Structure 1
């Protein structure tokens, strides 16, 4: 079984950035299948465009654009790429990098599919920094990577499977019914909870209020759709549950710091440097 070294991924690598203990790569996947292999370092895989299937000894992940995986080092896996263009962003963390920090990498065994919106937003911001390429890019990336690891190693994240059943159910409802028509009474009735209890306890488990989470969820959906050049901004706005494109533009920029159009240019490697 082949071991891939630092910065090595199957496909065509468009960009590689080496920092102290951190390596970032932007790679186009051009092989239909990659046999079992493992990597020298723990790393994140973030699917920017297209689709890929990844299998390991325990699970098989179907990863569309916006999917995020974390792999511990020497975790064997294989990949299958469906037809079409697929592109991934990788963040490798050399083992000695963890030695300087108060993180026990053994808490994250094997491969983990990450669904936390805040962690995904951090990864998008790291990707954005690789395209800005100004004098503070290195510092910004290192800070964002640390914030990502702090979030992942937080006890509430590691123990997420122990959350009450309603937490998992409300995530599913919000994902599939992510529109401006949702309201607190509807959610409370669906979950069999009192609206006051839902409002109070939601912040405990989601670290934001219901309205903030819903906006984040809509923007997360938009991130993935903006990678598809065949969709207009108006189509994406309605597809993500916004009432109009103007509302979509304001909400997207307030969360991501850039306009939807500039994010689309960034994905296409046309984002202007500051």
Structure 2
């Protein structure tokens, strides 16, 4: 079984940025099938455009734009690329960097799909920091990556705590209804929970209030649609449930750090 070394991925690499213990690669996947292999370092795969199927010993992931996977070192897996253009962004982390950052004993093991909306938004910021490629890229990427791994560690610890059934239920509902105008009363009826109780306890499990979480989901959906390159920003705003273009731009900038047109420009930058 082949081991891929630092910065090595199957496909045509657009850019490689080597920082101190961190390597960023922007790669177009060109292989219809990649046999079982593993990597020297732990890394994230973030699908920017297109689709890919990835399997390991336990699970198979069907990944579209915005899908995020984590692989620990030496974790074997394979890839299948459906027809069409597919592009991935990778954040590769050397063990020494993890140790020096105090994250060497991270609870991230094996291969796993990551659904946490805050982590996905952080990954978009890491991608953009790499595209800036200026004197602040290194410190920006390092800070964002530490925040990313710390958030995932908190998630792992929280899994050990017993959550009410409604926590996973509401997350599924909100993900499936992104773009629709949901109300507190509607959610309360679906979950059979009093609106006051739902509003009060929601931040305990999602680290923000209900309205803020829904806006994050809308922006994350917009980011995925922008990667497909088929819709105008006005069409994307409508599909994601924003009342108008200005509301979309304001929410996008507040959550994602820059306006939609600038993000799209950086996304298309090779």
Q: Same fold (TM over 0.5)?
A: yes
Unaligned runs of 5+ in 1: none
The equivalent residue for 1:115 is 115
The equivalent residue for 1:27 is 27
Partners in 2 of 1:103 and 1:140 — Cα distance? 18
The equivalent residue for 1:143 is 143
The equivalent residue for 1:2 is 2
The equivalent residue for 2:40 is 40
Asked if 1:190 corresponds to 2:175, the answer is no
The equivalent residue for 1:102 is 102
Question: Cα 1:249–1:127, aligned 2, differ >3 Å: closer, same or farther?
Answer: same
Secondary structure of the structure 1 residue equivalent to 2:31: coil
Partners in 2 of 1:155 and 1:137 — Cα distance? 27
Question: Cα 1:77–1:180, aligned 2, differ >3 Å: closer, same or farther?
Answer: closer
Displacement of 1:160 in angstroms is 6.8
The equivalent residue for 1:79 is 79
The equivalent residue for 2:170 is 170
The equivalent residue for 1:63 is 63
**Does structure 1 conserve the Cα–Cα contact (< 8 Å) formed by 2:51 and 2:62?**
yes
Q: TM-score, normalising length from structure 1?
A: 0.94
**What does the per-residue CA deviation read over 1:195-238, in whole Å, with 9 as the maximum and x for residues that have no partner?**
11100110000000000000000000000100122211121111
Secondary structure of the structure 1 residue equivalent to 2:214: helix
Q: How does 1:180-259 map to 2 (within 5 A)?
A: 181-259=181-259
Question: Cα 1:169–1:87, aligned 2, differ >3 Å: closer, same or farther?
Answer: same
Q: Which moved more, 1:95-104 or 1:130-139?
A: 95-104
Secondary structure of the structure 1 residue equivalent to 2:169: helix
Q: TM-score, normalising length from structure 2?
A: 0.96
Between the two proteins, the alignment pairs up a number of residues equal to 270
Structure 1 vs Structure 2 CA RMSD = 1.6
Secondary structure of the structure 2 residue equivalent to 1:107: coil
Runs of 4+ deviating beyond 3 Å: 155-158
Displacement of 1:169 in angstroms is 0.7
Secondary structure of the structure 2 residue equivalent to 1:154: helix
Partners in 2 of 1:40 and 1:161 — Cα distance? 33
The equivalent residue for 1:265 is 265
